[in-house]
Amino acid sequence: MKVVVDYDLCESNAVCMQVAPEIFEVRDDDFLYVLNETPDESLREKLVESVQRCPKQAISIEED
């Protein structure tokens, strides 16, 4: 699976980072960074929750 972020929609509000800090990080410049674009299957649950909780629905999962 691959993490896809629509940066035009993203407001860098860090909800995803709270859910999955192994995958997402909002830095001091107030931009969202994807730390791991192809996370291990063990992180799927956290990634799915991040997708569901994103207020702008800017995150999606692309299956391989």
Would you list the domain boundaries of the chain? Answer: 2-62
CA dist 1 to 11, 13, 14, 28, 35, Å?
Answer: 23, 23, 21, 28, 14
Alpha-carbon dihedral 6, 8, 11, 17, rounded to 10 degrees = 20
**2-62 under CATH 3.30.70.60, yes or no:** no
Cβ 22 vs Cβ 46: under 8 Å = yes
Per-residue pLDDT tens, the chain, 64 aa: give them: 999 999 999 999 999 999 999 999 999 999 999 999 999 999 999 999 999 999 999 999 999 8
pLDDT on residue 51: 98
